[in-house]
Structure 1
Amino acid sequence: MWDYQGLRSRRLQQGIFVLGLPYALLQSGYMAALICSYTGKILVSCLYEEDENGHLVRVRRTYEDVATACCRHICPYIGGKVVNAAQVVELVMTCILYLVVSSNLMCHSLFFLPLTPAACSAITFLILVPCMLIRDLRVVSRLSLFCSLAQFLITFIVIGYCLRQSSQWASRRLSAVVVDFDGFQVAVGVIIFSYTSQIYLPTLEESMTDRLDFNSMIDWTHALACVLKTAFSVVAFLTWGEETKE
């Protein structure tokens, strides 16, 4: 059964960036998030090769192994290092982005105090410095739980407000198209950080009891995530329309 792994995948797809999906909907349309499930299955399929009997056998464990196999005839010792470097850059950029978002939120929340954006950034950084000393994953798990609870509370409040404003909804304000390539580049970052399970998929797939259920798990969890996030996005977009901001 993939219930637990599916829940883990679903939780990894959550994050505060779900609150940016209405803006992504305004900029890129409805179909952009469907790419994530497809690419996730492709990435995991690269971990397997067929044996002499035509059966799929897992011969790789990480994206580094995949890159090394792809580049074995060109630069066998560089491919994996390039992928590792790219993952480090991605995670560092994620940390920077969360820091910027947190600082911006603090600056807007404490508008009644004479704080500059730089001061808010410094305060946010100092608050997060102790977290750099965390080495126990159980502590990280507890912090993740509190983060999820806070996010659900925020999402509930936003949806509640939007439903209270339902009398002002107007379908003519819902002008998002299937794909607007001019705005897609603006929204792609929001969508990527809202569906960030890809980097964890090899570990998730490896820990599954029945790995044959992986594709089914990915389809169902991404479908659930897509339905919930699309519903949230549309409700918020109907409330603010063209005034939707990031």
Structure 2
Amino acid sequence: MESDDIHQRQRKSIDVTTLDQIISTSTPCFDTIRDEDEDDTKPRDKGKQALYRSKQQQQQQQRVIDTNSVTSSGNVDLPVVKVSNTSTLASIICVVAGTGILGIPHAFSRSGWIGLLFLVLSSVMAQFCGCLLIRCLYHGQSRRLSGFPEIGLATFGKLGQIVGGLFSLILLILTPTLYIILAGDNVSKLLSVIGLHLDRKVCTWIVSATVGVPFALTRTMRDVSFMSFFASMATVCLVLVMTIVAVSDFQENEANTHHDWAIAENIPIAFSTFSFSYCGNVIFPHLEASMIDRTSWPKVLLVATFSVTVIYVLMGSLCYLSYGNQVKTPVYNTLPEGSSALNVAMLVATVHVLLAVPMYLYVFTYSVESWLGVRRRQRRLQDRHNKGDKDRRDQGSDEEDKGKDDDDDDNISTSDNMVIRRLQQHPSITRIGLRVLEICFCASIAMLIPYFSDVMSLIGTIAAESLTFILPCIFWIRLSWKDGQTWELVICALIAIVGTFCAAFGTADAVKEFLYDVRHG
């Protein structure tokens, strides 16, 4: 009897322990069906909801895996060094906000107060097209595309590749040129304040050398993103200086200023300035590729676009309210000559543009180096150096790797041209040489065309509107024509039509102003 009681007590303890273990391991499931008195949902419906949430989580994880696998396996020239979301945010603000701050108040003086409406409209369109462009890199592709030329090739063949590459080239080369023009003028004026008078052309070469030395030594997007943080800080300082001065001058200039609600004939060329103020699409694919978490791109871009729009509205409205139709471009030229505020504003603006130039030229250099096979060659040499100790211990494996490298050299070379093979054999020298040539080319153009306002209008109407609004929408319509959503395709068509209209009329006005300034000096 006693033995039977002992066995029964042991069996009950085992059953209780087993039940406790089952409950402890199944806590999430029990949490979803407990408190039935507090929730009217039936247990069967709750089970369906839990299953639905589980499937959603699995699909989200699969999308992240698919994005990473497409990006990493499809393009060997993508950046290896990753950057954080904060660094990406600073880079976007650095690329987008610089020129816009200098030109937005003058665009308001051309269009009138209705420019605020077009500015907000441009910000919404820029956010939509910026996300759309990144989607084009992955949609229906076995590998991640690198940018506008490859998207154009995938959608419209060779013609699309030429168009996408041409507009990208124009923006990547002329935007640094525009910055060098501005920096050269500012340095010449700042040096004259301390009694040192140097010609603008000499200052242009000084500025180019100042930018060229660190740019020639940058190797990854992380190096460029480090510069963009300080450029963003310079942007904040410029906004503070101009807003404080504009508020202080408001009462003094109130009686002498003239404002318009709308100037219809100037809206297209003003819209080109708004477009250029949000133009960063040519760099967005490289920024997205260098992110640690690429699925966060829409959120990061939204924060950047909202921040830049707030800065533009604050800067443009206050300066236009204080100075009216007398606002100039760059905006700090509206300030009295020789004032301390003008000197501080020029200094801060110069720092910003000098730090922003490497961002554009890096993307252009990256494309050229990838086309020549220099970047892959340099990465392979770095990998061989990192595993050098292991190869020394296994000589046979070293000989095999060497044979593979020789085969890769044959595959990388796009032709039997000995010049390209020489460039591939010396990747570091090639990289520095290409960057020096780019800086010299931009400086030469800056010396020949010293018209900041006209160059900015031309870039905005020809390249910025095409890359920011027109091409992303046309590419997406082509890619998702069969499986895309109707409302999305309609929005893309409307944006493309508006962008084309403003680009056509804005280009005509910008060319007229440029020719007028060239003829009259």
Q: TM-score range by the shorter chain?
A: 0.7 to 0.9
Given the alignment of the two structures, is residue 119 of structure 1 paired with residue 202 of structure 2, yes or no?
yes
1:154 to 224, 235, 238: 238
Instruction: Report Cα offsets for 1:13-71 as digits up to 9, x if no partner.
Output: 222541222112222422043342233234234335479xxxxx986453233111112
Given the alignment of the two structures, is residue 128 of structure 1 paired with residue 218 of structure 2, yes or no?
no
CA distance in 1, matches of 2:293, 2:302: 17
Is the CA contact 2:95–2:280 (under 8 Å) kept in the aligned structure 1? yes
Structure 1 residues 132 and 217: CA distance shift in structure 2, 3 A: closer
User: What is the CA RMSD across the aligned residues, in angstroms?
Assistant: 3.4
Matches within 5 A, 1:201-212: 201-205=284-288, 207=291, 209=293, 211=295
Q: Which residue of 1 aligns with 2:259?
A: 174
Matches within 5 A, 1:1-246: 4=86, 8-28=91-111, 29-30=115-116, 31-32=118-119, 33-34=122-123, 35-49=125-139, 60-72=145-157, 75=158, 79-112=160-193, 113-137=196-220, 138-168=222-252, 170=254, 173-177=258-262, 180-182=264-266, 184-185=268-269, 188=272, 190-205=273-288, 207=291, 209=293, 211=295, 214-215=297-298, 218-246=301-329
Shift of 1:155: 1.9
Aligned amino acid, residue 36 of structure 1:
A
Deviates more, 1:223-232 or 1:104-113: 104-113
Structure 1 residues 168 and 45: CA distance shift in structure 2, 3 A: farther
Query: Paired residues, what number?
Result: 233
Instruction: Report Cα offsets for 1:160-211 as digits up to 9, x if no partner.
Output: 112222334649733252x7443532662x4344323312333455547473
Shift of 1:79: 3.4
Shift of 1:220: 4.8
Instruction: Report Cα offsets for 1:77-104 as digits up to 9, x if no partner.
Output: x533542343233211111111101112
CA distance in 1, matches of 2:91, 2:127: 15
Aligned amino acid, residue 310 of structure 2:
V
Structure 1 residues 187 and 105: CA distance shift in structure 2, 3 A: farther
CA distance in 2, matches of 1:9, 1:111: 34
CA distance in 2, matches of 1:167, 1:8: 37
Aligned-pair identity (%): 18
CA distance in 2, matches of 1:79, 1:87: 12
Relative contact order, CA 8 A, sep 6+: which one is greater? 1
Aligned amino acid, residue 96 of structure 2:
Q
Instruction: Give the alignment's TM-score, normalised by structure 2.
Output: 0.39
Is the CA contact 2:184–2:207 (under 8 Å) kept in the aligned structure 1? yes
Structure 1 residues 133 and 12: CA distance shift in structure 2, 3 A: closer
Aligned amino acid, residue 182 of structure 1:
N
Unpaired runs of 5+ in structure 1?
52-56
CA distance in 2, matches of 1:129, 1:224: 30
CA distance in 2, matches of 1:220, 1:50: 28
Is the CA contact 1:40–1:198 (under 8 Å) kept in the aligned structure 2? yes
- Aligned to 1:115, what secondary structure does the other structure show? coil
CA distance in 1, matches of 2:287, 2:206: 35
Unpaired runs of 5+ in structure 2?
1-83, 330-521
Shift of 1:6: 5.1
CA distance in 2, matches of 1:147, 1:97: 16
CA distance in 2, matches of 1:205, 1:242: 40
Is the CA contact 1:26–1:176 (under 8 Å) kept in the aligned structure 2? no
Aligned amino acid, residue 311 of structure 2:
L
CA distance in 1, matches of 2:284, 2:213: 29
Which has more helix, going by share of residues? 2
Deviates more, 1:28-37 or 1:90-99: 28-37
